[in-house]
């Protein structure tokens, strides 16, 4: 996980202007694979986001606990980019690892939270809560 965080920090450090960083975030979102129409269901819709946001969790049993990967989408370009960053932090990790990640601290390190509107910050928090809830459910189903 540390490698992913470091690569994100390096990417952000290279870009001086916040306007350019926003463009980079949007590009990360554009590079995400499209979300299947079958996953655009109410159960995958994230509550607490001003934009439309869908996050679908996919479990893979490999070893003693499930690993989760995520797919998602938003109708807002900047939000889709934020989803891409969040997925870089969480996707492919074991459920217990996901629960241990302090996404707020990482977003602070990237300087992202201070440059988001309060509404977007709340939306990011809702996405992280959703992902951690999916990880907790995956862990609970294995016990």
Catalytic amino acids?
49
**How far is it, in rounded angstroms, from Cα 18 to Cα 25?**
10
Query: Of 57, 91, 67, 62, which Cα lies nearest the Cα of 139?
Result: 67
**How far is it, in rounded angstroms, from Cα 46 to Cα 65?**
25
**How far is it, in rounded angstroms, from Cα 6 to Cα 26?**
20
Q: What is the dihedral of CA 131, 134, 140, 142, to 10 degrees?
A: -110
Q: What is the DSSP code string of 33-47?
A: PPPPGGG-SGGGBPT
Cβ contacts of 2 within 8 Å, gap of 6 or more: none
């Amino acid at each position: 996980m540390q490698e992913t965080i470091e690569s994100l920090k390096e990417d952000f450090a290279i870009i001086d202007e916040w306007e350019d960083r926003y463009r980079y975030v949007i590009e990360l979102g554009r590079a995400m694979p499209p979300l299947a129409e079958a996953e655009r269901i109410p159960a995958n819709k994230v509550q607490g986001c001003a934009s439309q946001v869908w996050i679908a969790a996919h479990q893979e049993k490999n070893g003693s606990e499930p690993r989760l990967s995520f797919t998602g989408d938003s109708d807002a370009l900047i939000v889709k980019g934020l989803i891409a960053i969040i997925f870089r932090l969480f996707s492919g990790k074991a459920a217990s690892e996901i629960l241990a990640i302090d996404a707020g601290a990482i977003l602070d390190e990237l300087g992202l939270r201070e440059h988001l509107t309060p509404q977007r910050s709340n939306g990011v928090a809702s996405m992280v809560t959703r992902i951690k809830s999916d990880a907790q459910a995956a862990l609970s189903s294995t016990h």
